[in-house]
Amino acid sequence: MSRIPLAARSAGPLVAPLFVLGLAVRAPAAAEEARLVDVGPIVESAVVAPDGKIFVSVVGDYEKYGDGYVGVVDGDKVVPLATGLNDPHGLDYWNGELFAADNRGQIWRVDMNGNVSLVADATMFPRKITNFNDIELDARGNIYVSDSGDWEGRGGAIYRVTQDGKVTTVLTDEEAWQLVSPNGLLMDGEAAILVLDWTTGNLHRLDLKTKSFEKVNGKFGPGDGLARDPGGRLYVASYYESTVYVLDRPDSEDRRPIKIEGVKSVADIGVSPDGKLLVAPDFDGGRVAIVPLSE
């Protein structure tokens, strides 16, 4: 989520979870099992690569250019992988590379050697970028990025960017009044995306073909990150509650809370591809919580 810490806060079928098919899934572990890794000023997003490496985006000093970076968790510390970014927020992994949405209006590509290239910058978008936040890639490598707007209900948007930098507007607050402060993004099948709103705490499903924008759940407090495990369960981060809610389906009324002790906030979460770990950045606490998910 994109905000200055504490002081200035910031329709087709749903994807069927695999447990319906009789496959085993993992249940969340107790929060007290979390391992805390200190990072430093403002860690925002986490993603776990197929080889198990945990990558995080670190903002550094907010609104200071060039001091942000993408790092990798190494034991009890985070080691910088790619430096010289501005205020990197959302982070995703695709085809052996990392992609970061920078709050200052850039989308970065980072390879596993730490080389950084620019996919798109603020000048390439059709209107002023206010708060680039989460990022999500589909199977074809299309990049979706949320602009959370001014936190007062204006300027919210979702964009699509191709690998060669072609920008398309997917949805704006002018087209859908319910798009208040879009934050977490997560693909829901090939032609839809889940959108978690920071201000309202509502979870919406956006049909990418028809632009139908439908509320499927809500009351998540300040909504931040979204993730899914191999069993199809949805993980929803509630920022100030320091809690991640687990749902069998996006529209499920039954939710299991994972309260993560020792952190001040929960930002853009990640779940490992094997479903064994939940990784929760603590934006206000400058640390990363790594929570084992038991059988």
Query: For residue 184, what are its two tokens?
Result: 């977490």
Looking at residue 295, its pLDDT comes to: 58
How would you class 36 by CB atoms within 10 Å of its CB: exposed for 0-12, middle for 13-18, buried for 19 or more?
A: middle
Nearest to 134 by CA among 78, 87, 168, 183: 183
Looking at residue 155, its pLDDT comes to: 87
Q: Are the beta carbons of 91 and 57 closer than 8 angstroms?
A: yes
Residues 160-178: tens digit of each pLDDT:
999 999 999 999 999 999 9
pTM tops 0.85, yes or no: yes
Q: How is the chain split into domains, by residue range?
A: 33-292
The three state secondary structure string of the chain is CCCCCCCCCCCCCCCCCHHHHCCCCCCCCCHHHCEEEECCCCEEEEEECCCCCEEEEECCCCCCCCCEEEEEEECCEEEEEEEEECCEEEEEEECCEEEEEECCCEEEEECCCCCEEEEECHHHCCCCCCCEEEEEECCCCCEEEEECCCCCCCCCEEEEECCCCCEEEEEECCCCCCCCCEEEEEECCCCEEEEEECCCCCEEEEECCCCCEEEEECCCCCEEEEEECCCCCEEEEECCCCEEEEECCCCCCCEEEEECCCCCCCCECEECCCCCEEEEEECCCCEEEEEECCC
Looking at residue 294, its pLDDT comes to: 74
Looking at residue 206, its pLDDT comes to: 98
Looking at residue 92, its pLDDT comes to: 98
Rounded Cα distance between 4 and 2, Å, is 7
Nearest to 232 by CA among 14, 21, 17, 23: 17
Looking at residue 29, its pLDDT comes to: 43
> For 33-292, CATH number?
2.120.10.30
Beta bridge partners of 69: 58
Strands 223-228, 234-238: pairing is: antiparallel
Four-CA torsion 73, 74, 76, 80, nearest 10 degrees: -60
Query: For residue 96, what are its two tokens?
Result: 């052996």
Rounded Cα distance between 56 and 85, Å, is 13
Rounded Cα distance between 293 and 41, Å, is 27
Rounded Cα distance between 255 and 191, Å, is 25
Nearest to 270 by CA among 259, 280, 261: 280
76 alpha-carbon distance from chain centroid? 23
Looking at residue 181, its pLDDT comes to: 96
For residue 65, give the amino acid letter. Y
41 alpha-carbon distance from chain centroid? 18
Residues 258-290: tens digit of each pLDDT:
999 999 999 999 999 999 999 999 999 999 999
Q: Which residues of the chain have pLDDT under 50?
A: 2, 4-32
